Homo-oligomer: A and B are copies of this chain.
């Protein structure tokens, strides 16, 4: 495989305040292209250190991607150092100047001497056009190796990679085909999933790699195949995903870019169903996750956050008796909340939760992390008790995932059972 190194230049990346998202993004893009990233180096704004990084990378890798240090200030050393490294005079590149003028014009700005200086670049490089900023990228070739320098502004670099660098790398090098598939699961922890999937994992061909990517309340599996024919790889991976589905279907909610709230939204749209939610311990977070999906107003009618008991009574008409007998964090109350919010908003489905998010507010009988969730479609009601930990934000997130997953499972059951509501 072709080896690559990514180099990020800038003191600010070494202070620890600014995350180095560029190196990660470029590594993912190269990996998806079938290039093996063997090292990532972050180097300070210092001439000798940057030149040493260029030299070392050239020893190790065939493709060297560089970001940062292309601005117009004197801290920005990348351009003069590349000119030095490739022993190339600086010249005005007409295309670069035209692009800078065009960009400034579109923003109603005039060309300054500083802007113009950004079009003066090493003669030996091919310009990589920058549609979103005034610093052009540079492509150098030397001894069958390529050095590519791009600005450190993430959206400028990403656009240049997608529009120019990745296609050009594909044309320049003979790269293997690569096929990735991410399988997204919910409802089982990583170690449980590892045990459950062991027989499936053991029969995977040696050309296929499996990685577990655990998140909060979710685990993603990444299956990667490398070979020569993309179509064949795709077929092989999809066949393995089919096999996986036989053992873990109930946990798989989607693939690749899918989100739990997006998948639930698609199911609701397909089934022309509407929802409303009474969020107590999740405090609006579930509604936020649902409504951040464009077009969610088709199925999401609204929500109530009755953060105080009095509001559960006044706004949702939860019965005083249920509250007094069982307390707010109880199956009885959460069922009433789901039923009443469904009626209030006149939806097909009502959802609710009530719990102790923490870090305080727990008792011996109901410790912090005790959460009840409920779903009702007017005929059937499902409830579940969660016993979570002590971290408030994690409890809120896990409550959201549990309730979204309950909704997903209910919608799937209705689909497969064609309208039968008893599960």
A18-67 residues with Cβ-Cβ distance < 8 A to B are 18-21, 23-31, 37-44, 46, 49, 56, 60
Contact A40 B20 (CB under 8 A): yes
The answer to whether A24 and B16 touch (CB under 8 A), given A302-B304, A302-B315, A345-B311, is yes
Contact B292 A305 (CB under 8 A): no
Contact B42 A39 (CB under 8 A): yes
The answer to the question of A222 belonging to the interface, with a C-beta cut-off of 8 Å to chain B, is: yes
The answer to the question of A124 belonging to the interface, with a C-beta cut-off of 8 Å to chain B, is: no
Collect the chain B residues with CB atoms within 8 Å of residue A292's CB: 283, 285, 392-393, 396
The answer to the question of A308 belonging to the interface, with a C-beta cut-off of 8 Å to chain B, is: yes
A338-369 residues with Cβ-Cβ distance < 8 A to B are 344-345, 357-360
* Cβ 8 A contact of A37, one of B16, B28, B211: B16
The answer to the question of A14 belonging to the interface, with a C-beta cut-off of 8 Å to chain B, is: yes
Collect the chain B residues with CB atoms within 8 Å of residue A14's CB: 27, 31, 37-40
Collect the chain B residues with CB atoms within 8 Å of residue A285's CB: 284, 288, 291-292
The answer to the question of A295 belonging to the interface, with a C-beta cut-off of 8 Å to chain B, is: yes
Collect the chain B residues with CB atoms within 8 Å of residue A25's CB: 16
Contact B42 A28 (CB under 8 A): no
A209-251 residues with Cβ-Cβ distance < 8 A to B are 211, 213, 222
The answer to the question of A290 belonging to the interface, with a C-beta cut-off of 8 Å to chain B, is: yes
Collect the chain B residues with CB atoms within 8 Å of residue A147's CB: none
Collect the chain B residues with CB atoms within 8 Å of residue A295's CB: 360
A286-333 residues with Cβ-Cβ distance < 8 A to B are 286-288, 290-292, 294-297, 300-308, 311, 314-315
A242 to B393, CA, bound (A): 34
Collect the chain B residues with CB atoms within 8 Å of residue A283's CB: 287-288, 290-292, 296, 300
A190 → chain B, closest Cβ, in Å? 13
Q: Which residue of B lies closest to A43 (CB)?
A: B39
Contact A304 B304 (CB under 8 A): yes
A274 → chain B, closest Cβ, in Å? 9
Contact B39 A15 (CB under 8 A): no
Collect the chain B residues with CB atoms within 8 Å of residue A99's CB: none
Contact B15 A392 (CB under 8 A): no
Contact B30 A39 (CB under 8 A): no
The answer to the question of A17 belonging to the interface, with a C-beta cut-off of 8 Å to chain B, is: yes
* Cβ 8 A contact of A16, one of B30, B46, B305, B344: B30
A20 to B18, CA, bound (A): 12
The answer to whether A31 and B18 touch (CB under 8 A), given A292-B396, A302-B315, A311-B302, is no
A-B contact pairs, 15 of them (CB 8 A): A15-B37, A38-B43, A38-B44, A38-B46, A39-B41, A39-B44, A283-B292, A284-B285, A284-B286, A285-B288, A285-B292, A300-B307, A302-B305, A303-B304, A305-B305
**Beyond known contacts A40-B42, A314-B344: 12 more, CB 8 A cutoff:** A12-B211, A13-B40, A19-B19, A38-B44, A40-B41, A284-B291, A294-B360, A294-B392, A295-B360, A297-B307, A297-B308, A315-B345
